[in-house]
Amino acid sequence: EYDGEFSAWTRTERLYADFETLMVLHATAYSARFVDAYLGEYRRVYDPTPTEYEALAARLRRRTAAGDCFFLAAFTGERDWNDFALSNSMWRIYLSTSDGRKVKASSVGEVKSDDSIYQHFFPYFERFYEGYLVCFSCSAKPGKDGASTSPILHEGLDWFEMQFRSPVGAVDLRWVLGD
């Protein structure tokens, strides 16, 4: 069921200063279980041709094989702060795990706000939010930006978190795994 997996793999946090909301972040991890639920929901909603469905499935599986990816929707009090996809962004995004690994995002791509497919699958992606696809590569040489040749998210972790850092503040989105 899509709604259950969506809830399980989505986190939300807010950054406040003096009772003012500076930022709201929502992120959904493209875990194997979420991808399977996404594909099931896509099939239910669109009833695609087998070719179309297999192309989407292959694209999503290639993405997850290359690293760990998340859909991110961000609202910021100042429009200039919502610059996650810029090469000179004020934000640094990291993925940290319970086994002591920490890697910097290898890519942050902007998702157009008028993309109705994303709006269906990620209902928090509303007006006034900017959308991003954030990926952490597992194909870089070990040690470079903390990257590894093995998946960052793997069996046996107790938790993982996306960490957002800037002069404006810090926000952590944490997923607790297991029991």
Q: How confident is the model at residue 17 (pLDDT cuts 50, 70, 90)?
A: confident
CA diameter of the chain: 53
Q: Indicate whether 27 pLDDT > 80.
A: yes
Rounded Cα distance, 168 and 81, in Å: 8
Taking residues 35-41, report their average pLDDT. 97
Q: What is the pLDDT of residue 5?
A: 97
Rounded Cα distance, 24 and 22, in Å = 7
Give ∠ CA 173-130-172 in degrees, rounded to 5. 10
What would the pLDDT profile of 48-97 be if each residue is shown by its tens digit? Answer: 999 999 999 999 988 888 889 999 999 988 888 889 999 999 999 999 99
**Whole-angstrom distance, CA of residue 80 vs CA of residue 69:** 24
pLDDT grade for 149, boundaries at 50, 70 and 90: low
Q: Within its chain, how far is the Cα of 104 from the centroid?
A: 13
- Amino acid letter, 55: A
Q: How high is the pLDDT of residue 71?
A: 96
User: Within 10 A of 149 (CB to CB), how many other CB atoms are there?
Assistant: 10
Predicted TM-score (pTM) of this structure: 0.89
Q: Is the pLDDT of residue 179 over 80?
A: no
Closest CA to 130 of 91, 75, 71: 75
**Angle 107-71-138 (CA atoms, 0-180°, nearest 5)?**
40
Rounded Cα distance, 67 and 62, in Å: 9
Most confident range, picked from 62-71, 115-124, 161-170: 161-170
What whole-number distance in Å separates Cα of residue 86 and Cα of residue 79?
Answer: 13
Alpha helices in the chain (DSSP H): 2-8, 32-46, 50-66, 116-121
pLDDT recorded at residue 148: 53
Arithmetic mean of pLDDT, 118-141: 85
